[in-house]
Structure 1
Amino acid sequence: MATTLTLKPGTAWADAWQRALAAAPEAFRDDRALNLWAGGWHADGRTLPATNPVDGTPIAGPPRLAADAAYAAVRASLDQHRAWRHTALPERKARVAAALDALTEHRDLLALLLVWEIGKPWRLAQADVDRAIDGVRWYVAEIDRMVAGRTPLPGPVSNIASWNYPMSVLVHAMLVQALAGNAVIAKTPTDGGVACLTVAAALATREGLPVTLVSGSGGELSEALVRAPEIGCVSFVGGRDTGARVATAVADLGKRHILEQEGLNTWGIWQYTDWTTLAGRIRKTFDYGKQRCTAYPRFVVQRSAFDAFLAAYLPAVRSVQVGHPLAVENPTDPLPELDFGPLINAAKAKELTDQVAEAIDRGAVPLHRGDLATAPFLPGQDTSAYVPPVTLLNPPSTSPLHHAEPFGPVDSIVLVDTEAELLSAMNASNGALVATLSCDDEATYRRLAPQIRAFKIGHGTPRSRGDREELFGGFGASWRGAFVGGDLLVRAVTQGPPGERLPGNFPDYHLMPT
C-alpha cells in the first residue's frame, strides 16, 4: 500500500514568507518585496505574478524597475561608493563580519526560501548558504594582505547573475566586493530568488554595507547596470547570448568585467578500467538536476570501453532520487535526501523534454529514461516542472543537446575511436569551465589534458567552481574578462600599481584600466 506524503510542518511557503517578513520587515510590504537603493527600501517597480517550481503555487514575484529608476539607483550607489571607499579596512571587516553573523542566524530561513523559489533540495539549499558565509569569512581573515597597496575602483560593482546560486555566487561576490571597498549593485535573477536575496540584502544593509538590490528585465536594466558611466566593474553570470551583448558593451567602454558564461562541460573516458570509482561519482553529477555551471552533461567514451562504461553508469543513474523537496511520510521525519527536485520552472521542463523528443526523432538512442510515477510527491500536486534523468547516445549534430549545455538532468554520450575524436568531442562548445578525463595512465592524462579547452581539468575526478584560494575562469566562449577566486577576486575589483595587467581573457588586453 502506497504511503501518503505530507508537507513537513513549518516548511510551507506561507510559513517561509511570514518568517521573511519577521526577519526583515523593512524590506517587504504585504505580499511584495521592495527594491533597495539609496540606502532605503522603495515600493517602486511593477510586481509580476510568479509561481514556485516545487508545486506551481503563487509566490512573490520580482518588483521590476523601469530604466529611469535603475539609473537613479546607479547614481545613488555612486554616492555610497564615494563614502565607502574611504572607510577604513578594520571597519569594513567588522561590518562584513557582522553581516555574516546575521546571515548565520537566519541560515535555515534563507535555505527554505531557496527550496521554494528555485527548487533546491534542503541539503543543497543549506550548502548554498553555508558556502556563501564560510567563503566570505575566509576573505575577512585574508583581506589585509590582499588589498595591501591597492585601492577600490572609481565606481560601484554591478552584479547580474543567474538564479541557480543566489547565495554562494551572488551574495558571496557582493560581500567580497564590499569588503574590498566598493559599493555593490545586484539585479535579482528574473527566474527566482528574490525573497532570499531581499532578506540577505536587508541583513547586510543593517550593518551599514553599501548594497543596492533591484529587479527588472535584463533588456530594460542593462543600459543602467552595464553601460552607465558610474559603474566601475560588471560581474555577469549567465548564458552566452546575453553574455555576448554584455561583453560587447564593456569592451567598447573599457570597463572592468568578469563574465562567466555557459559551456558544455565534458567527461572523457579513454583507456580506463577503474569502473568502481567512476560508478561512485556518477550519481553526484546529478546534484540539483545538473542546473549548475560546473555540471557534467556530456560523457565522451572510447567505443571499445562502452559496454564496461554502461555497466557502471546505468545502475548509478537509476539510483538518482527525484521528488518534492519538503515531502515526508511523518511530520517528525527529516527532510528527504534527494539529488534534485524540480527544474527552475515548467517552461524549462517542457523545453528540455521537447529537445529530448526531437533528438530521439532524429536518431539519438535513449539509453535511460527515468519515471516520475514512483517519485515522492504530495497527493495531486503540480509536477509540471519536474523532469527525471534521461541519457541519450549520440544526439544528432542538429540538436541543441549536441553542442549546448542543457542545464537539466539530461546526459548525452558520444562514442569515439581515436584521441583526435576524443579531444574534438570534448571541445564541442568552444570552451568550458571544467572538464574531467578518466584514464589509467598518468602520462596519457598529462599529454591530453592541455588540449582540452576547459579552465579546470580533473584526472578522474569532477571539478567545481571553488572559492577561497582556488582560482576560477574559463576558456573560449565560456568566459570573458578577469579570472577570480582568492587574490584574483579582490584584484578584479580593486586598482593596483600603474600598468598592472589583470589575469584573464580580454579582447584588448592592453586597454584594460588598472
Structure 2
Amino acid sequence: MTGKILAGVPSRLRIGGDWRDAAGGRTFAVTNPADGGELMAVADAGPADAVAALDAAVTAQEAWAATAPRERAEILRRAFEEIHARRDELAVLITLEMGKPLRDAYAEIDYGAEFFRWFAEEAVRIDGGYKVSPNGRGRVLVMRQPVGPSLLVTPWNFPLAMATRKIGPALAAGCTVVVKPAEQTPLTTLALAAVLEHCGVPAGVVNVVTTSDPAGVVGTLLRDGRLRKLSFTGSTEVGRLLLAQAARTVLRTSMELGGNAPFLVFDDADLDAAVDGAIVAKLRNMGEACTAANRFYAQRGIAGEFAERLAARMAGLRVAPGLDEGSQIGPLIDEAGRAKVGTLVDDAVGKGARVLTGGKPLGDAGYFYAPTVLADVPGDAALLSEEIFGPVAPVLPFDTDEEAVALANATEYGLVAYLYTRDLTRALRTAEALETGMIGLNQGVVSNAAAPFGGVKQSGLGREGGPTGIDEYLETKYIAIDV
C-alpha cells in the first residue's frame, strides 16, 4: 500500500504549470523517521530554480488577480473536497514522512482542508469602503487588492495544514505563490500541488520548490524586488534572520514563530478534565508543535496529584511507528530533534528534577523518545525557557494567581497559554493578564481555521485563519474623490 502511495507522489518541482527537474538534476532523499530509511528522492532546487518559480508567479499574477472571486472560491472549494476524497492516501503519506500516528494524520487532514473551505467563503467577501469626507467637500473610496507574488515557507510538523493555512488565503485574495516546504517533509506539499492542479488552479499560480538549501533558495527570493510578501512558520531564530533580510526590500511579512506555552491548573479546576487537556496540549504531534504545552504550573495543593495523574496517563501510551495499529506516540522527526529533547531532560534531572515516567530514548531504530513527566523541576532548568518539541512535561507548583501569571509571562514567547479553572472571574482575569495571542480555557486545543492563529512578543507577527487571515494578503488603496 505504501509503495503505491509513494509512486503517485510527484518528485519534481512545480513551476509554471510544469513538473520539472532541478537545475543539474540534483535530488535529495526524504526519510522515514520511524526507521531512518529512505522513502524517495525529490528534486533539489537551487537559486536558479527559485527565480524560475518566481518568474512563473509574476507572469500569472495579473490574470489571477483579475479572476472572479467566485471562480477562485470554487477552486478552493473543489480542493477542500478533493483532499477529503484522498484522505486515506494523504494520511499515510503524512505519517510516512513526518512520523505522527495515523489518527493524528487524519486529524491534520480534517484541520488542514478546512482552510480551503473557510477561505473559499472569504474570497467573495473582500470589501472596501465609501464615505463622505469630514469636511463634506469630497469622498473617500477604499479598495483592497492582492499584495502580489508571495513566498510561503512551511515547517515539517504539519506538512498539509501549514501549507493550506497559507495557500488558502493567498489564493482567495488573488495572490500567486511560491511554496518552499521543509526538506524533511516535502512529499505532502507536492501531493497537495497535484490536488490543486487537478482542481483547476491555473499554471504559475502555485509553484513548489523543494530544496536541501533553504537559505540559498529563500535568500535569493528575498533579494528579488518582484516578491511582495513573505509568510514564514518556523523557529524564532530563523524568523529573526528572515525579518532582517526582508527589511532590505521592505517586504510585507507575517511570522508564526516559536512558543513556550504555559499550562495553568488552579486548585478549583476539574482535575480529570485538566489531565485530559494536558495530554492533548502536550502530546499532539508528539509535542512537536509550537502550540504544545511546554511548562505545567499547578497550584500547590493539587500539584502533586496532577503530576502523578499525568504521569500515569503518559506511561500507559503506546509508543510505536505511526502506521502500527494502536500507535499513540510516534517518532520524533530526526536524530537531532531527539537528541535535543534528551539534552533538555538530562539538564533538568542533573539540576534536581525527578523523573515520574520516561526520561529516555526508546528502540534501536527510528527516533522515539518515551513520554516523560518531571517533578521538582528547578527554575533554572533549560527546558523552562527553551521550546522542548518533544513528549516531555515538566510540572511546577505555584501559590497565588498573581504568581501563576508572572511565571507564565516570564518568557520572550507569547503564542498560546492554557488554563483550567471553574471560576469565571478568575478565568477572565487571568486570560486578560496572560501575554499570549491565544488561550485555551478549559481545553487543550486552540487551532481552528475559523479563528485568528498567531502570537505576540517573539512568537510572531500577523494572524492566520479566521476573518483576519486574508488581510495578510491584501493591500489597502485609498482614492480621494473631488465632488
Q: Match for residue 319 of structure 1? A: 316
Q: CA deviation at 1:359?
A: 2.3
Tell me whether 1:429 sits opposite 2:411 in the alignment. yes
Q: Match for residue 73 of structure 1? A: 53
Between 1:99-108 and 1:172-181, the stretch displaced more is 99-108
Q: CA deviation at 1:148?
A: 5.8
Which of 65, 90, 102 is equivalent to 1:122?
102
CA contact under 8 A between 1:239 and 1:261: conserved in structure 2? yes
Tell me whether 1:474 sits opposite 2:467 in the alignment. no
Q: Match for residue 253 of structure 1? A: 249
In structure 2, C-alpha distance between the alignment counterparts of 1:73 and 1:282, rounded to whole Å: 43
In structure 2, C-alpha distance between the alignment counterparts of 1:452 and 1:50, rounded to whole Å: 40
Which of 202, 205, 211 is equivalent to 2:206?
211
Q: Match for residue 346 of structure 2? A: 357
Letter of the 1:414 counterpart? L
Q: Match for residue 168 of structure 1? A: 161
Q: Match for residue 393 of structure 1? A: 375
Q: Match for residue 237 of structure 1? A: 233
CA contact under 8 A between 2:193 and 2:208: conserved in structure 1? yes
CA contact under 8 A between 2:12 and 2:20: conserved in structure 1? yes
CA spacing shift, 1:371–1:249, aligned 2, 3 Å: closer
CA spacing shift, 1:148–1:205, aligned 2, 3 Å: farther
Letter of the 2:195 counterpart? L
Letter of the 2:177 counterpart? V
Q: CA deviation at 1:447?
A: 2.2
Tell me whether 1:153 sits opposite 2:146 in the alignment. yes
CA contact under 8 A between 1:297 and 1:409: conserved in structure 2? no
Letter of the 2:454 counterpart? G
Q: CA deviation at 1:357?
A: 1.7
In structure 2, C-alpha distance between the alignment counterparts of 1:339 and 1:109, rounded to whole Å: 19
List aligned pairs for 1:179-194, cutoff 5 A.
Answer: 179-192=172-185, 194=186
Which of 294, 305, 330 is equivalent to 1:297?
294
CA contact under 8 A between 1:287 and 1:339: conserved in structure 2? no
CA spacing shift, 1:96–1:148, aligned 2, 3 Å: farther
In structure 2, C-alpha distance between the alignment counterparts of 1:326 and 1:397, rounded to whole Å: 38
Letter of the 1:179 counterpart? A
CA contact under 8 A between 2:269 and 2:420: conserved in structure 1? no
Tell me whether 1:341 sits opposite 2:335 in the alignment. no
CA contact under 8 A between 2:157 and 2:285: conserved in structure 1? no
Q: Match for residue 396 of structure 2? A: 414
Which of 56, 62, 65 is equivalent to 2:36?
56
CA contact under 8 A between 2:146 and 2:175: conserved in structure 1? yes
Instruction: Write out per-residue CA displacement over residues 143-172 of structure 1, whole angstroms, 9 at most, x where no aligned residue.
Output: 212356754434211101111112122124
Q: CA deviation at 1:112?
A: 0.9
Tell me whether 1:132 sits opposite 2:146 in the alignment. no
Letter of the 2:187 counterpart? A
Q: CA deviation at 1:370?
A: 6.5
Q: CA deviation at 1:34?
A: 0.6
In structure 2, C-alpha distance between the alignment counterparts of 1:273 and 1:234, rounded to whole Å: 42
Which of 420, 425, 429 is equivalent to 1:443?
425
CA contact under 8 A between 1:299 and 1:411: conserved in structure 2? yes
Instruction: Write out per-residue CA displacement over residues 117-152 of structure 1, whole angstroms, 9 at most, x where no aligned residue.
Output: 001211111221222223312322342123567544
In structure 2, C-alpha distance between the alignment counterparts of 1:382 and 1:117, rounded to whole Å: 19
CA spacing shift, 1:225–1:319, aligned 2, 3 Å: farther
Q: Match for residue 84 of structure 1? A: 64
Tell me whether 1:37 sits opposite 2:15 in the alignment. yes
Q: CA deviation at 1:395?
A: 4.1
CA contact under 8 A between 1:389 and 1:409: conserved in structure 2? yes
Q: CA deviation at 1:319?
A: 2.8
Q: CA deviation at 1:342?
A: 0.7
In structure 1, C-alpha distance between the alignment counterparts of 2:361 and 2:455, rounded to whole Å: 35
CA spacing shift, 1:384–1:367, aligned 2, 3 Å: same
CA contact under 8 A between 2:33 and 2:331: conserved in structure 1? yes
List aligned pairs for 1:370-389, cutoff 5 A.
Answer: 382-389=364-371
CA contact under 8 A between 1:60 and 1:195: conserved in structure 2? no
Tell me whether 1:143 sits opposite 2:123 in the alignment. yes
Structure 2: stretches of 5+ with no match in the other structure:
130-142
CA contact under 8 A between 1:56 and 1:382: conserved in structure 2? no
In structure 1, C-alpha distance between the alignment counterparts of 2:102 and 2:207, rounded to whole Å: 28
Q: CA deviation at 1:390?
A: 1.0
CA contact under 8 A between 1:283 and 1:320: conserved in structure 2? no
Structure 1: stretches of 5+ with no match in the other structure:
1-9, 21-26, 28-32, 328-334, 374-380, 500-514
List aligned pairs for 1:447-458, cutoff 5 A.
Answer: 447-458=429-440
Instruction: Write out per-residue CA displacement over residues 370-408 of structure 1, whole angstroms, 9 at most, x where no aligned residue.
Output: 6787xxxxxxx8533111111223545554312011111
Instruction: Write out per-residue CA displacement over residues 284-324 of structure 1, whole angstroms, 9 at most, x where no aligned residue.
Output: 23122111121112101222322232343232222323212
In structure 1, C-alpha distance between the alignment counterparts of 2:376 and 2:61, rounded to whole Å: 52
CA spacing shift, 1:440–1:100, aligned 2, 3 Å: closer
Q: Match for residue 510 of structure 1? A: none
CA contact under 8 A between 1:19 and 1:109: conserved in structure 2? no
After TM superposition, the runs of 4+ consecutive aligned structure 1 residues lying more than 6 A away are: 370-373
In structure 2, C-alpha distance between the alignment counterparts of 1:418 and 1:100, rounded to whole Å: 47
Tell me whether 1:494 sits opposite 2:438 in the alignment. no
Letter of the 1:300 counterpart? Y
Between 1:485-494 and 1:111-120, the stretch displaced more is 485-494
CA spacing shift, 1:147–1:34, aligned 2, 3 Å: farther
Q: CA deviation at 1:242?
A: 0.2
Q: Match for residue 512 of structure 1? A: none
In structure 1, C-alpha distance between the alignment counterparts of 2:397 and 2:423, rounded to whole Å: 20
CA contact under 8 A between 1:152 and 1:182: conserved in structure 2? no
Q: CA deviation at 1:73?
A: 1.8
CA contact under 8 A between 1:299 and 1:413: conserved in structure 2? yes
Q: CA deviation at 1:478?
A: 0.4
In structure 1, C-alpha distance between the alignment counterparts of 2:149 and 2:347, rounded to whole Å: 45
CA contact under 8 A between 2:229 and 2:253: conserved in structure 1? yes
Aligned-residue Cα RMSD (Å) equals 2.3
CA contact under 8 A between 1:147 and 1:490: conserved in structure 2? no
Q: CA deviation at 1:267?
A: 0.7
In structure 2, C-alpha distance between the alignment counterparts of 1:186 and 1:394, rounded to whole Å: 44
In structure 2, C-alpha distance between the alignment counterparts of 1:237 and 1:128, rounded to whole Å: 16
Q: What SS class does the counterpart of residue 49 from structure 1 fall into? A: strand
Instruction: Write out per-residue CA displacement over residues 153-205 of structure 1, whole angstroms, 9 at most, x where no aligned residue.
Output: 3421110111111212212421331122110111021222x222112102212
CA spacing shift, 1:182–1:479, aligned 2, 3 Å: same
Letter of the 2:395 counterpart? I
